Amino acid sequence: MDGKESEQTAWRFLKAKGYHIVERNFRCGHGEIDLIVRKGDLLVFVEVKGRSNTKFAPIEESVPLLKRKRLLRASRAYLSFPGRLEGINSVRFDCVLVNFSLDKPSIKHIENAFS
């Protein structure tokens, strides 16, 4: 299991829930956003975490405060490009936790994980 496998698993999960991918691994001087997805007029910045143990850590441990601040700054940088907010009425930060400890990965989707 690696980051790419976690992100691919998370993407398939979100796609099945009706999200459309906008961008993967957006990088800027402030950090990286694993997935940026859209559903209707909602734009979602997604942090993906993969685990190979049997328990998920609380979101505060999975995505520490410093990482959340970087994600917020990176999202602002992403949105600063012209046209990125076209048709968008709301923005959200989600976290998708993927656990590979079982035969079939289990997924936990936390909407509005942080802001």
Confidence of residue 61 (pLDDT cuts 50, 70, 90): low
Digit-coded pLDDT (tens) for 82-103: 999 899 999 999 999 888 877 7
Judged by DSSP in three states, 24 sits in: strand
> What CATH number was assigned to the domain covering residues 3-110?
3.40.1350.10
Dist. CA 94–CA 109, nearest whole Å: 7
Dist. CA 59–CA 33, nearest whole Å: 16
Domain ranges of the chain: 3-110
Contacts of 79 (CB under 8 A, 6+ apart): 85, 91
For 72, how many CA atoms within 13 A lie in the half-sphere containing its CB? 11
Q: Taking all residues of the chain, what is their mean pLDDT, rounded to a whole number?
A: 88
pLDDT score of 58 more than 70: no
pLDDT score of 60 more than 60: no
Q: Which range among 15-29, 63-77, 101-115 shows the weakest confidence by mean pLDDT?
A: 101-115
